[in-house]
Amino acid sequence: MSCLLQKTLHIKMKIILLLFIFLPVLLSAQDLNYTNPILPGSYPDPSICRVGNDFYIVNSSFEYYPGLPIHHSNDLVNWELVGYGLHREEQCTGKMNLVDVQSRGGIHAPTIRYHEGTFYIITTNVYSPIDKTQPTKFINFIITAQNVKGPWSDPHIIEGAPGIDPDIFFDDNGRVYYIGTQDVTQPNDNGIGEIWVQQLDIKEWELIGERKAIWQGACGGCCVEGPHMYKKNETYYLMIAEGGTSLNHAVMIAASDKISGPFESDPRNPILTSRHLSQKNWVNSTGHADLVELSDGRWYMVALGIRNDEEGTSNMGRETHLLPVVWEPATVRWKEVNKDNWQPVEYLYPVVAPETGKVERYTKLPFAGKAQKQNDALVDNFDSTELDLEWNFRRVPMANTYSLTAKKGYLRLYLKPDTIIERGRCSIMGLRQKESDFEYSASMNFLPQKNNAEAGLSIFQQDDSYINFTIIKEDGVNTLKIVVAEQNKEPLLLKKEAIINFKGDIVFKVKSMVNKYTYLYSVDQGRTFTSFAETRADLIISKGYTGAYLGIYATGNSLKIEEYADFDWILYKAYQR
């Protein structure tokens, strides 16, 4: 045996030995830690509550329907989507208009709480009238349910409640309080808002008693919002979001002996932020948080954050992250007892992520032995008579938009004249994009008969931000095309190409890898694929409140065409970076 061969075998044996040594350690580390975000995809403004050993999170849904997605977990790291607070059309009409609501409007910053056998969600519907001379309406309301999966009640609108992001607090003396936001009652340096509290009658669903302004935030920043009230050891704690929803986002907290204040700001505020970190940090804009106490007395926080996958942001928008919390004393001021004696006034305050003070990608599991499972794939064969909970629509869908029974084992999407326009409704539906790198494909049967009949895939984020990869009949020819709409730009035809001898069956596929989208198609049931086009991955990057959805789309392009597209299956596979 040559010296070179002996040396090569020796190196290989060392590598194998090292793998035997370190692989169990790596696997063990994975079993000991969880990965943030715990709710990947467009799940902003998280609110959490515990019932026994079960945890529930609700998130903002804005103009999407069904609204107010609710997840369940018994270990804080594995979450299942179990329902929606707004799941019936009649909940979303009239004053609660989610039919023609503007982009980035709709349902903002909910709070979920459980009290004496009933779940409560309190939140705001932000609606700007089509008549732009009319002011934006902020409709604050509460829905209730005995079962978190529903059915949820019709909205109870709380009249005379200004502001956004309300909180509901059940005190141990039997009183219930509404905590809201409003413009400042006295001029101050930040000038952007303050928190108020007022007793709430949950039998008549109305505010009663005196309203009192209780805090204007901690650091003189803007956008005092997102309040949550807690009580621990007879002390009231008021936690808020401050600094806006971008890079200066932060969580502040204050304490008081009375719910009406005065509230003493934690001298270590903000208790959570990423404003002091490099913009190259893996996550930014962390804030808008809620706290939960575990049955063993430990505490955790859920907060939103934006991953830095695409130069400071990501296609997923704002997502839900989990952080451990401990409580430590802090001196808020010194009180004069007499001429020669001053005593410190102390409160316990939460310390978030005590080891590092920030949202980490990997953190020790809350419950040993309950590892986080990968939830990175979804296959829908449309074999059920009910739509999978993962599917969402932009606004309340029109009647007869789709059917799961017209053709067994298929989702039938009907072509309507409507296209993707601001405040509009059309035949479009999608699933949240949960990672920057993914594969998304759909098998469609669609042989258009009339000109302008069109159907296929759509990756969408808002009415002015989408990518459509479709088949359309133009001048009697079946044509494959890609149209891209970027914010503040006119939709652009990226590419189109006639498909000769097209028989009606096509599999679309979009692959995202290393900041690039590749668009492929197959006309032999997925056995072979043809590459059609490539684009940057940041064409419809999240620049607003919501992240991207991966969906399907059908339209008659302003014509009444009685046709439809049948989708046999969709497949989504995500890849963590």
The DSSP secondary structure of 124-181, one letter per residue, reads: EEEE--SSTTSPPEEEEEEEEESSTTSPPPPPEE-TT--SSS-EEEE-TTS-EEEEEE
Q: Which of 449, 440, 381 is nearest to 415 (CA)?
A: 449
DSSP state of 89: G
Report CA 6 to chain centroid distance, whole Å: 56
Residue 77 and residue 34 in contact, taking contact as beta carbons nearer than 8 Å:
yes
Strand order, beta sheet including 492-498: 64-65, 392-394, 427-432, 549-555, 454-462, 465-474, 477-485, 492-498
Catalytic-residue membership of 225: yes
From the list 165, 167, 194, 225, the catalytic residue is 225
For the chain, the first-to-last Cα distance in angstroms comes to 43
Using an 8 Å Cβ cutoff, are 402 and 570 in contact? no
8-state DSSP, 576: -
Tokens representing 336? 């004069």
Q: Which of 45, 290, 463, 538 is catalytic?
A: 45
| CA distances, 281 to each of 1, 24, 250, 574 (Å) | 51, 29, 16, 22
Q: Phi/psi zone of residue 285: left (φ > 0), alpha (ψ -120 to 50 degrees), beta?
A: left
CA-to-CA distance for 176 and 120, rounded, in angstroms?
12
**31 a catalytic residue:** no
Report, as residue numbers or ranges, the catalytic residues: 45, 225
